[in-house]
Amino acid sequence: MKLKPTKIICVGLNYHEHAKEMGMAIPKEPVLFMKPLTALIYDGDSIVYPKQTQDLHYEAELAIVIKDHCRNVAKTDAKKHIQGYTCANDVTARDLQKLDGQWTRAKGFDTFCPVGPKIVSDIDPTKLEIKCYLNGELKQSSNTLDMIFDVYEIVEFVSSIMTLEKDDLILTGTPSGIGSMQAGDEVVVEVGRVGRLRNRIRK
């Protein structure tokens, strides 16, 4: 699986339980941020642990892969513009996120956006199990039913702000259970009917 996105858009605080975990109010609209294209890696690639952080976190997510050039897409038409779905890990330097008060540096390092292993199209994205394993131990376990904004609402919202192009990625948020990773760890993101995204952490 290889993609050529023009941008990577991410949604923060999009699971009810994760918002509670972070002690933050439920957002009234999707909270957006972006990752640089240089963050993009794939199944089996290594996540590099930057020297600037001492608290690297996993965040298991469902990612939307856009099908075509589109703008101002209605929620009811969103499905037509979705190529499919894949697993993603919104890797985050949590200490830098807290230090900066915004998310660009904390989530923008090279290798901080693993996706894969494949794109799956014929699924209902509103009720998928989503899990994260660290060295084989289950750390996150939820369902997209807990999303505050579903994938179709997200496509509508994002496309009202910016034009979307083929292969653009939209990460849809992480459930509760986030935590730290260390060099040498293996992290696996599993999304029901999509597959398992496997990456190892290295210095």
Percentage with pLDDT > 90 across the chain = 95
Quote the CA–CA distance of 112 and 134 in Å, as a whole number. 16
Q: Would you state the pLDDT for residue 39? A: 98
pLDDT in tens, 59-111: 999 999 999 999 999 999 999 999 999 999 999 999 999 999 889 999 999 99
* CATH of 8-202 given 1.10.3720.10, 3.90.850.10, 2.60.40.1180, 3.30.110.30: 3.90.850.10
**127-158 as b/e, with b when 16 or more CB fall inside 10 Å?**
ebebbbbbeeeebbebebeebbbbbbbbbbbb
Q: What is the mean pLDDT of residues 31-53?
A: 98
Q: Would you state the pLDDT for residue 102? A: 87
Specify whether the backbone of 94 is left (phi greater than 0), alpha (psi in -120 to 50) or beta. alpha
* DSSP symbol at 149: S
